[in-house]
């Protein structure tokens, strides 16, 4: 019987460093061809929208769906369903809000571990919601504008909820930026950062190839000729060393999120919290099969 793990049950069960480790492993599985993930299915209806994603991690032994919907004036709700690949058993239903926040921050953590930033590191952050807070684990100082937040910092994270025709972050403000993490926008009709951010980058890393179609800023950059294939890479390629990061210049990381990232955290939450219900994990079944 599937277990249900609500928002409160997930709080504090995983640390951010653990989440980064889990995502790094999942990206390696994807790069090795041992994972499958779908593009987002988006359906708009009167007063709201629904998005659906799927992923399978053959090495971990799980697959998962992620659905999230928004309703006008009511906000967003998220649900992750975790299945065992061996027999298709539904193992857990997990409130996806905390998972979404954690895996968004952890994806930035994966690339941040790989990019060498010389000297003292300061971070400029644009955004103040749940996902923006997941990008940082230390106190912040408020400033008057996005430009003031971005200028002079070697690491900049854009995690805003902006939904407009004009980007909230401009490349001309990134005067000292070594790593830009743009994680706020996941929609084709919007752009959180401008084309110059990609034009000035030495390398642009995406968390999934689907991002090139799903994110408005990437679509704009490709249309403008600012993002040739020669300076694109996936996070899986970076994790496995298939693509080397430039030693100097700006690296841009663009994340739209995938169900594989949700799966990595959901599986660990289930193994930590849900197995008390007596439902065997994927590892349990594999061990029994081999004995």
Tell me the pLDDT tens digit for each residue of 156-176: 999 988 787 789 999 999 999
User: Cβ atoms within 10 A of the Cβ of 207, count?
Assistant: 27
pLDDT range class, residue 132, cuts 50, 70, 90? low
DSSP letter string over 212-261? HHH-HHHHHHHHTT---GGGEEEHHHHHHTSSPPPSSS-EEEE----HHH
Q: What is the pLDDT of residue 140?
A: 82
Higher pLDDT pick, 21 / 166: 21
Mean pLDDT of 86-98: 96
Mean pLDDT of 258-282: 84
Q: What is the pLDDT of residue 163?
A: 80
**What distance lies between CA 25 and its chain's CA centroid?**
14
Coil, strand or helix: which one is 99?
helix
Give ∠ CA 221-225-226 in degrees, rounded to 5.
Answer: 55
Beta carbons of 43 and 49 less than 8 angstroms apart: yes
Q: What is the pLDDT of residue 290?
A: 60
Q: What is the pLDDT of residue 119?
A: 84
Alpha-carbon distance values, 115 to 108, 174, 247, 257 (Å): 11, 16, 8, 20
pLDDT tens, 211-239? 999 999 999 999 999 999 999 999 999 99
For residue 7 the two structure tokens come to 């928002």
Strand pairing report for 48-57 and 179-182: unpaired
> DSSP strand E in 22-105: where?
35-37, 41-45, 48-57, 62-71, 75-84, 90-95
Query: Lowest mean pLDDT: which of 44-58, 59-73, 138-152, 198-212?
Result: 138-152
Say yes or no to pLDDT of 47 above 70: yes
pLDDT range class, residue 1, cuts 50, 70, 90? confident
Say yes or no to pLDDT of 201 above 90: yes
Beta carbons of 78 and 97 less than 8 angstroms apart: yes
**What distance lies between CA 111 and its chain's CA centroid?**
11
Beta carbons of 33 and 65 less than 8 angstroms apart: no
Mean pLDDT of 141-166: 90
pLDDT tens, 170-197? 999 999 999 999 999 888 899 999 999 9
Contacts of 247 (CB under 8 A, 6+ apart): 116
Percent of the chain with pLDDT over 70: 91
Higher pLDDT pick, 159 / 133: 159
User: Which domains, ranges and CATH numbers included, belong to the chain?
Assistant: 3-101+259-290 (3.30.1780.10), 107-254 (3.40.50.720)
Strand pairing report for 35-37 and 155-158: unpaired
pLDDT tens, 75-84? 899 999 999 9
pLDDT range class, residue 133, cuts 50, 70, 90? low
Alpha-carbon distance values, 236 to 18, 26, 194 (Å): 18, 8, 25
Percent of the chain with pLDDT over 90: 82
Q: What is the pLDDT of residue 3?
A: 96
Q: What is the pLDDT of residue 179?
A: 98
For residue 191 the two structure tokens come to 């752009």
Mean pLDDT of the chain: 92
pLDDT range class, residue 274, cuts 50, 70, 90? confident
Q: How far apart are the first and last CA of the chain?
A: 24
- Exposed, middle or buried by CB within 10 Å (0-12, 13-18, 19+), for 255? buried
């Amino acid at each position: 019987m599937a277990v249900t793990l609500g928002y409160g049950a997930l709080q504090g069960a995983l640390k951010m460093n653990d989440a980064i480790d889990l995502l790094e492993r999942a990206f390696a599985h994807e790069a090795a061809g041992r994972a499958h993930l779908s593009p987002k299915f988006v359906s708009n209806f009167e007063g709201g929208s629904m998005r659906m994603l799927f992923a399978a991690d053959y090495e971990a032994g799980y697959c998962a769906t992620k659905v999230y919907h928004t309703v006008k004036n009511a906000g967003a709700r998220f649900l992750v369903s975790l299945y065992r690949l061996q027999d298709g058993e539904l193992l857990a239903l997990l409130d996806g809000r905390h998972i979404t926040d954690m895996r968004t921050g952890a994806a930035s953590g994966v690339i941040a571990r790989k990019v060498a930033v010389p000297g003292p590191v300061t971070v400029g952050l644009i955004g103040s919601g749940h996902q923006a807070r997941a990008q940082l684990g230390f106190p912040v100082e408020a400033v008057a504008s996005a430009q003031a937040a971005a200028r002079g910092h070697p690491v900049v994270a854009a995690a805003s909820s902006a939904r407009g025709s004009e980007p909230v972050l401009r490349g001309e403000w990134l005067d000292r930026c070594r790593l830009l993490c743009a994680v706020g926008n996941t929609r084709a009709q919007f752009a959180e950062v401008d084309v110059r951010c990609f034009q000035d980058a030495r390398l642009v890393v995406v968390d999934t190839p689907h991002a090139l179609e799903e994110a408005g800023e990437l679509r704009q950059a490709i249309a403008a000729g600012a993002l040739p294939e020669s300076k694109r890479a996936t996070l899986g390629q970076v994790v496995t060393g298939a693509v080397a990061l430039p030693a100097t210049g700006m690296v841009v990381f663009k994340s739209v999120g995938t169900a594989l990232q949700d799966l990595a955290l959901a599986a660990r939450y289930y193994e930590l919290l849900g197995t008390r219900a007596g439902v065997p994990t994927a590892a349990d079944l594999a061990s029994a099969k081999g004995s």
